[in-house]
Amino acid sequence: MGVDRGAGSERDRFGASRRIAVAAVVVAQTVLSGTLSGIDAQTPPETVQAEVSGRTVSLAVARHRAYPAVDAADLALALESVVEDVTRNGVFFRARLRGETVSFEAESPFFRHGGRAVQLANPPYEEGGAFWLPAEFVTRWVSEGPPPVAAVSEGSEGSAASPASPSPPPPPDPLPARVDPTAPWRVIIDPGHGGRDPGTLGSASHEKDIVLAIAKQLYGELEGHEMFEPYLTRETDVYVDLDVRSQFAVDRAGDLFVSIHANAAADERARGFETIFLGQARSEEAREVALRENRGPEVDDAPGSPSDVQFILAGMDRNENYAESRLFAGFVQNSIRSVRGGGAPDRGVIQGPWWVLLGALVRMPSVIVEVGFLSNDEEERYLNGAEGQGAIARAIADAIVAYREDVLRRYAPAPESGC
């Protein structure tokens, strides 16, 4: 297989930057106070703000996991004008949001809103006797209202809208200026590290070899699908500079960028998988990993290595790809969760200041997949085996297929009906 199958014509389907008016934002009050090398220890509590009926309400955010969450009971109490009839039965939580029933199940990334099934990037969960909802639910559904088209389609079950129902209005300022359902997507697959940069080291393996094996299998999965054109940033054990990787994706007018990595920790008990999209690091662990990855194999920082602030400022005009990256990361995380099951902890969708993502985000939604910990003997054996590598590659491929279908469902023009 070849790395470059031709750049082809430039297909700038993502169009010019659009304005996104977000009525609710997660307020991390350390936004401009820290860099990759350090952060003020005296940071105020994190909150999420919701704007409802002209008033703004702040809710405390907890981080039992890698992503922010709010207590469902606190949400209902603070926003009783729009969240009503709250009931909880075991792992199930239900309420009425603006007159429509919403129902959640702990540890499931899907919830029902009226007759629609919707996918969250991270699942709700139970902790300390409380039911916790991802802050995303507050920012995307409570403040803004539900999206006009469900993020996940109904299957054979449930009460899908009848054919006689009026079609929902198109979403405002859609991400792609034009989406052609007949055009294949160009997926850029980036095996991390390589050559003189081995990546993280296991007891009997190198990260660069494992991620290349998974990337090649992912390439094979997509190559057999007529609606995808996969490209590899490297197909052998060579070092490719971070800037070159992202430029490779941009030059080929990619539609999606997926960088594959493996993790490590000083604690050999650390296990699990996570998917990362570009943003400010929310934990010291994420900050240290990003710093190590951004430096590459050299001892000293390369010129232009970014700080948290540089990442935030550089990405402010790319909100459309930022939002889609976060959504795509949820598809990947949920798909890997389905194949790993209880075999590894779900570390969630997180954000981090990774240089390679910033370069690719100019043009396309971009994520990094951390497939597991090579510092854990059990996970290293799984990631070294053909079965584990194949399962992860297929899970990522399934996520890419599902995400494309979701994009087309949300943004592609409806076919014209015959007379």
- So what's the pLDDT on residue 56? 80
Taking the CB of residue 304, how many other CB atoms lie within 10 A of it? 8
* Mean local confidence (pLDDT), 335-345: 86
* Mean local confidence (pLDDT), 203-207: 93
- So what's the pLDDT on residue 167? 38
Taking the CB of residue 281, how many other CB atoms lie within 10 A of it? 24
- Separation of alpha carbons 211 and 73, rounded Å: 42
Contact 374, 207 (CB under 8 A): yes
For residues 189 and 315, the model is more confident at: 189
Alpha helices in 11-89 (DSSP H): 72-78
For residues 200 and 10, the model is more confident at: 200
Domain residues of the chain, as ranges?
26-142, 185-411
- Separation of alpha carbons 275 and 345, rounded Å: 13
User: Per CATH, the architecture of 26-142 is what?
Assistant: 2-Layer Sandwich (3.30)
**The two three-digit tokens of residue 415, written as one number:** 């076919």
- Separation of alpha carbons 233 and 357, rounded Å: 14
Alpha carbons within 13 A on the beta-carbon side of 156:
0
Q: Look at 3-7, 71-75, 330-334, 395-399 and tell me which has the smallest mean pLDDT.
A: 3-7
Q: Look at 40-49, 140-149, 239-248, 303-312 and tell me which has the smallest mean pLDDT.
A: 303-312
166 Cβ partners below 8 Å, 6+ apart?
A: none
Winning range, highest mean pLDDT, from 61-75, 163-177, 336-350, 376-390: 376-390
Contact 27, 268 (CB under 8 A): no
- Separation of alpha carbons 56 and 88, rounded Å: 26
Contact 13, 178 (CB under 8 A): yes
Contact 202, 268 (CB under 8 A): no
Q: Which amino acid is at 407?
A: V
**CATH number assigned to the domain covering 185-411:** 3.40.630.40
- So what's the pLDDT on residue 79? 80
- So what's the pLDDT on residue 192? 93
* Mean local confidence (pLDDT), 229-242: 95
- Separation of alpha carbons 154 and 116, rounded Å: 7
- So what's the pLDDT on residue 172? 40
> Using one digit for the tens of pLDDT, what is the confidence trace for 279-317?
765 555 555 555 555 555 553 444 344 444 444 444 444
pLDDT, the chain, mean: 75
